[in-house]
Structure 1
Amino acid sequence: MLTIALVDRIGSGLWASVSVLYFTYVSSLSVAQVGTLAAVAGAIGIAGAPLGGRLADRFPLTRVLIAVQLLRAVASLALLTTNDYALLLAFSAAGSLGDRAASVLTRLYATRVAGADRVRYQAVHRTVANAGWALGGLAAATALALGTASAYQWLLAGDALSFIASALLTLRCGEPPSPSRAVATSKTPTPTTKPPRTNPWRDRTYLAYVATETVLFLDDAVFKVGLPLWIAHATSAPHGLAPLLLVLNNVMVVALQVPLARFATTTRAARKLLTPLSAAFALGGMAMAFSATGGAATAIPLLTVAAVAFTLAEMIHATVSWELSVALAPDTGQGAYLGVHGLAQSAQRSVGPLAVTAAVTIGPAGWTCFGGFIALTCLIQDRLVRDRLAPTPLSVPPVTVSEQ
């Protein structure tokens, strides 16, 4: 599965960095059309997370993942066949739906396969995925030097081929044990046996937890939207600092995500990380605020501190989220629960840009409130999950991790 993650993310890196340019220069869409297409496709894609999780509780996980990868491949190839706006919108929406479903399914695979090592496995997976993104982005940058329509089309074709390759590689992966399917195929329980609750939509605590997760995922918008806008409009730092801070973010994740995973080997340890996570968010917000109070000599180091703080927050939150999202879910409903949890990251893609844009517009006070609000949400989440968590840290028996 780690090889699959690398191949998948290389393809995604090829396309993510040029999608807007493709629709602009190859499909000849206006700025408003491109923005609408991205917004609508993203909104439809939100449904992919709960849908993928629910299907994985009912059918073999690897087969569902193969189907999703093929859907993504077909959607990408279909974009090459037309410049009609309605069709481009439909194909992009299908691809977005598959992308969000694939994200949940790969997390669920790790949960079922890695057992007690699930947090470390997810950390390794994320490191490999980041490396794939970087390789894909470098390849895309090289191709874009040509500046031709054919170059854009080949990048999109490469994205589609990566999904086909991922589907073929998934065929070689063993099917992990599924508590939900084991219960479904077992004999009917006696009348005195109460079936476990597996509907996350009726679990108020879990839904509240997912709501707090939506706030904690806002760090993603900081690097994609907030930092570049803040550097350009509010500080004296050179504009070229923005991509350098993105590189710093990627390097830190690749170098530190796996070592940080050792601090969340149990559910209790993962929950305790919410306190330093709160501090990291608060520090990042304050550093962003103070970066606008002086010249370039002051702004550059403070922006660097902000980037480091938000990157630490990103990595700590990823580690905590991997463990708590599973620990709060019943064994027989892991797919459905993780699917609902996937809504947090999907929703953030819409809410995040608005939140950081508001912080930029308000000014230094906006960033102080931004960091402080997320820091407070960390503490609220800690209080929310404390009583729900069982004393036993893990609920999934360990099995051998597949490296395919």
Structure 2
Amino acid sequence: MRPLTLLLIGVVSRLGAGIAATVSALYVTQVVGLSLRSVGLALTATTAVAVAGSIWLGHLSDRLGAREVFAAMFTMQAVATAGLVFVSNVPTYVVAVLGLAIADLGYRSSQGAVIHGVVPPEERLAVRAKFRVAANIGVAGGAGLGGVALAIGSPTAYRAALLTTAGFLLLTGALVFRLPRVPRVVTSEKQSWAVLRDRPFVLFVGLNGILNIHNSMLTLAIPLWIATRTDVPHWMVSVLLIVNTSAVVLCQIRLTRGTDSLRGAARAGRRAGVLLCLACVVLSLTTLGSTAVTITLLVIAALAHVTGEILESASGWGASYAVAPPGLVGQYQGAHAMGRGLGDLLGPTLLTAVALPLGPIGWLLVAIIFATAGSLTPVVLRPEATACRSGRARLSG
């Protein structure tokens, strides 16, 4: 029953996310009238604030109860999304997207802590993989619903879509309470920020965050590369998104198997770096052939990219569960979310400053970054000779 409830939470919440992702940017620029520069700066600044507070949000999951924080994050997302309807200028937009950014990072942290608390150890990675599959299905459905609003194109349709998103998120928050409570943890002052003293894990978080730059490849760099550096039809962007979503749905569960140990997580991280490196190398070749060759290379790059993406996620989940001491799961999930948030924050700048302007050489430089991060992952994920009392291996100091 618990896994089914978690999967339902994943589908319903991401239905809302898919709608919002489809309409929110166009709403604030075309209906409200904010400039692209203002929107970009606001999103960057608010994401940076949320990333800085990610560990604290994870700490709240330990202290207040992961289930309650998980539900609160959905409620916060609902309120902030509904708030977009009332945005009229940059300051009000900043307030709304700051709420969304904090809720998103808090959602990532508390989600991992909830799964850890309500799912048996041997099933956690499998359930988390299924949750991601369910989320992708939800996003795809939400994108279709958002497309209806775009087709209508009126301000009322945009606002109705955003309010529908808020409704889905409120429903998700209610669904969370169908899960058992996760016991609160009373920690000493010394334990409050223990994750920051776990230097091997902090290094892993940084490397995993670098690998997570792949998110910006799919949503930003590859579409711009296709539009400005190739002669293939722009609808290839949609084809590659479909390839990505389909591969996650079909392969996430299978490729996550075996990553519930430090050795497995390290191996997945190394392979993720190799595959993301390969994707960049293939992208560097897409300007050298005919349209048919370019399309073929783009599909190959997309397949390498999504396989690396799947393994990167599995590596992060496995390591963050394996090393977290009892009572500090929320903190470690918060740190993991912080690393991924840093990747999301740095990715657009790196790719638009290196890969796109420098062309093939730029992609090769990004390939080196991915390969380096992947190869260093096993170095920082060296298990100790003995396991901790909970039966999970811990990192050596």
Normalised by the length of structure 1, the TM-score is 0.89
Question: Which residue among 361, 370, 375 is the counterpart of 1:379?
Answer: 375
In structure 2, the partner of 1:210 is 205
How far residue 388 of structure 1 moved from its aligned partner, in angstroms, is: 5.0
Quote the offset at 1:79 in angstroms: 2.4
Aligned pair in 2 of structure 1 residues 275, 167: CA closer, same or farther (>3 Å)? closer
SS of the residue 1:172 aligns to:
coil
1:59 corresponds to 2:64? yes
Q: Report the counterpart of residue 243 of structure 2 in structure 1.
A: 248
Equivalent-residue separation in structure 2 for 1:328 and 1:359 (angstroms): 35
1:40 has 2:45 as partner: yes
- Partners of 1:258 and 1:231 in 2: CA distance: 30
**Of the candidates 82, 90, 98, which is equivalent to residue 85 of structure 1?**
90
Q: Distance in 2 between matches of 1:83 and 1:197?
A: 40
* CA 1:390–1:249: 2 relative to 1, 3 Å: farther
Residue 284 (structure 1) aligned with residue 279 (structure 2): yes
Q: CA deviation at 1:243?
A: 1.5
State the Cα deviation string for residues 80-136 of structure 1 (Å, max 9, x = none): 234133122112211211111012111111122222211111100000000000000
1:159 — aligned with what? 165
Q: Deviations over 1:206-232 (max 9, x none)?
A: 221111111110111110111111112
1:123 aligns with one of 129, 140, 148:
129
**Correspondences of 1:137-156 after superposition (within 5 Å):** 137-156=143-162
Q: Report whether the alignment pairs 1:258 with 2:263.
A: no
- The Cα of 1:72 is off from its aligned counterpart by 1.6
Gaps of 5+ in 1: 185-194, 397-404
Following TM superposition, by how much is the alpha carbon of 1:48 offset from its aligned partner in structure 2, in angstroms?
A: 4.8
Q: 1:297 aligned to 292, 295, 299, which one?
A: 292
**Aligned 8 A contact 2:129 2:253 in 1:** yes
The SS at the match of 2:112 is: helix
Q: Letter of the 1:19 partner, please give it.
A: S
Distance in 1 between residues matched to 2:343 and 2:356, nearest whole Å: 17
Cα offset for 1:265? 4.3
For the residues of structure 1 that align with 2:49 and 2:260, how far apart are their CA atoms? Answer: 35
Cross-structure match for 1:401: none
Percent of residue pairs bearing the same amino acid type? 27
Equivalence for 2:395: none
What is the DSSP-based 3-state SS (H/G/I as helix, E as strand, rest coil) of the residue aligned with 1:332?
Answer: coil
Residues 1:370 and 2:366 aligned together: yes
**Counterparts of 1:27 and 1:48, CA distance in 2:** 29
RMSD of Structure 2 on Structure 1 (CA): 2.1
Partner residue in 2 for 1:226: 221
Contact 1:328 1:389 in 2 (8 A): no
Bigger Cα displacement from structure 2, 83-92 vs 145-154 = 83-92
CA offsets, 1:228-259, max 9 Å, x none?
Answer: 11112222322221111111000000111011
Residues in 2 aligned to 1:395 and 1:251: alpha-carbon distance in whole angstroms: 35
Return the offset for 1:51: 2.5
- In structure 2, the CA distance between the partners of 1:278 and 1:44, relative to structure 1 (3 Å rule), is closer
171, 176, 200: which one aligns with 1:170 = 176
Q: Match of 2:268, as an amino acid?
A: L
Partner of 1:31: 36
Q: Give the direction of change, closer, same or farther, for the CA distance of 1:375–1:10 in structure 2 (3 Å limit).
A: same
State the shift of 1:391 in Å: 5.1
Cα separation, partners in 2 of 1:55 and 1:292, compared to 1, 3 Å:
same
Unaligned runs of 5+ in 2: 1-5, 393-397
Q: Compute the displacement of 1:336 (Å).
A: 1.1
Confirm or deny: 8 A CA contact 2:262 2:382 kept in the other structure.
no
The structure 1 segments of at least 4 consecutive aligned residues displaced by more than 6 Å after TM superposition are none
- Could you tell me which residue of structure 2 aligns to residue 99 of structure 1? 104
How many angstroms does 1:392 deviate by? 7.4
Question: In the aligned structure 2, how far is the partner of 1:82 from the partner of 1:354?
Answer: 27
Q: Is the 8 A contact 2:262 2:381 kept in 1?
A: no
* Count of residues in Structure 1 that have an aligned counterpart in Structure 2: 384
Q: 1:314 aligns with which of 309, 315, 331?
A: 309
